Structure 1
């Protein structure tokens, strides 16, 4: 993902479910359609949680990556 495409970032590293989702939901509520949110998380459950969140909310899950126990999730605001 190109840095220029990212509108906002939520750093939820060290937080457990449901905090990463709640922070992402709050950030997405302030964003415009088509903007991209990057979420940083360390909770392995975040991977599945954000897949479910995306299906439930209609926001697009663009990508999920993992490196050294840190998950990066990219969501596009519907």
Structure 2
């Protein structure tokens, strides 16, 4: 199973939670992971998490209206509030 570089991704997770106003427990419930996983990940006690765990966290943020964008070619990643386009 692949691993995600937590030196970059940890900050994105924390920022995404802040944008959405979520506690770790709130995100854990939305992502269907344990709160302790999020705590260990954000604090640096866990140096890496599986790509499937990270995808669950991204999905949990998405459920809260926050999107995580990665552009590996440009070396850029960001989190932002999802906007709705009304046509």
Larger-Rg structure: 2
* TM value normalised by structure 2: 0.31
TM-score normalised by L of structure 1: 0.33
From the two aligned structures, give the one with the greater helix fraction. 2
